[in-house]
Structures are given as C-alpha cells and as structure tokens.
Amino acid sequence: MEKSSEKIIVILTIILSLTLAIVSYFGAFVPDTYARDEESMAVQGMGQDLVGLFAVVPLLLVSLALVLKHRKTAYFIFCGTVFYILYSFFIYSFGVHFNRLFLLYCVILGTSLYIFILILIQLNRLPVDTWFSEKTPARTIGIYLIIIACMFYLLWLKDVIPAIMNNTVPETVSNYNLLVNPVHVLDMAIVLPGLVITAVLLMKKNRLGLVLTPVLLVFILILAVALAVMVIMMKIKGVSDDTSVAGIFTVIAVISTVILLIFLKSMKKSTAK
C-alpha cells in the first residue's frame, strides 16, 4: 500500500471507529436516542448498535492492523467491514428520524465511503489475480451469491409490487413513517445487482470478481448477524414474538462464514506487496 494512502486510511479509520463507537453506545444504551422513531425501528436500531459496538468496531481495528502488516486476507475483511458500515449508515442517515447523532451519522457515512474507495484502489493495484489457486470453487460460491440476491429480491418485491399495483404504500414504509424504505433502494438498486455481477465475474475468474467476492461475503456475514440480533432484540423488548427469522439469518451467517473460509483458504501463502 502506498504510504500516502496508508496514512489517510489509518486517520479516517480512527475517526470512523471513534464515531461509530459513540453512535453505537448511544443507540444501544441511551433510551431517548430513537425517541422520534417507531418502537419497532428503535428496537432494531438498538440491536444493530450492539453489534456495531461489540463486533464491528473491534473487527474494523483488528483488520486494519493486519492490513498494515500486509496480510492478504485482512484486506478483504477490512474492506467488507467498511462496506457494511457504509451500507448501514446510508440507512441511518436517510431512514432514522433526526436526532442529536445526525452529524455523527454523516461523519460515519462519509468516512466509510472514502475508506472504501481508497482500499479498493489499493486492492486494484495489487496482483490479486495471482493470489488464488486454480482450485478456488468459483462456480459454487458464485451460485451462492446469486441465491442470496434472489432471496432478498423476492423478499422486497413481495412488499413493493402489490403496493405499486394497488397504488398504496408498503407497510415497511408506512409503519415507520418514511417517504421510502432506504433498504429497498440500496438493496434493489445497488447491493443485489452487485452480488449477481460479482458472481458472474467470479465464475469467469475475473480479477474484479476475485476482489469483490470475499468483500461481499464479509458484508453478508456481518449483516446476517446484525439482522439476527435485531430480531432477537425485538423479542426481548416484546415488540415481536416471531424469532424464526433470526434462525434464517443465523443459517445465512454460518453458511457465509464457511464459504468465506473456503474461499480464503484457496489463497496462496504470502504477504500482499
């Protein structure tokens, strides 16, 4: 990694870690943080903030430390963690009703965006296509990414299409008093097509596919854990009695972990320079 870029990434990551820790603490432990949001959304926010504070912040710092030691796997874990933060705080910035943490939401969204861009540029300069062996199970992993994309497309379209046909508003929008659901926008416009494109590139052993696949697997893993904790938190707070969805997200997290480990295990042993 270039020294100038390395220094910028380190500084931005320190800022990101501190602001994320503050925001996550307030969201998880200060009751009036989500006072203007519907109870269900507030409880989900608390669950996600617990994951942010106790899992994402440590993972971000540890993976950065390993990136600075030129560990190849660390690049992907760090980049995937940053992408999860970027995704999440797009939702916080546009989906959570205005509160005293708003400026910190903007800081986290901005710093995660620029870190993500910078680390992708660094990965593009490294000989990533030479890191993997011919035995890398590209087809199997590609199919898994497509399955995940299809699952979430079906989930969101089940909400959106009936509302469009009946000229109404989906419950996931009206129940939370939103203009639109930012999750719908992010997933259907960017993330899910990105999963499919990455899967196709991976199956062709394209360089970009090899770069993005572990990044997206890390993202899916963290997101699945966060979603499971959000559902469990709703059960604890008495907002919902259905915890079956948490089981589904847990299964996705476990499968993603296994596939990620298989993918990373196929890498050749050497440092990234």
Domain ranges of the chain: 3-265
Is the model's pTM score more than 0.85? yes
Query: Is 272 a residue whose pLDDT tops 70?
Result: no
Using DSSP, state whether 100 is helix, strand or coil: coil
Q: Token pair of 177, please? A: 């008093």
Stretch among 89-93, 98-102, 129-133, 196-200 having the lowest mean pLDDT: 129-133
> Hey, what's the torsion of the CAs at 225, 227, 233, 238, to 10 degrees?
-150
Distance CA 240, CA 131 (A): 46
Residue 266 pLDDT greater than 90, yes or no: no
Quick one: pLDDT at residue 12? 98
Region 128-133 average pLDDT:
84
Pick the residue with more confidence: 127 or 64?
64
Instruction: Give the separation between CA 242 and CA 101, rounded to whole angstroms.
Output: 30
32: its two tokens: 């009036």
Is pLDDT of 27 > 90? yes
pLDDT digits 0-9 by tens, 148-182:
999 999 999 999 999 999 999 999 899 899 999 99
Listed range (93-102, 122-131, 134-143, 255-264) with the worst mean pLDDT: 122-131
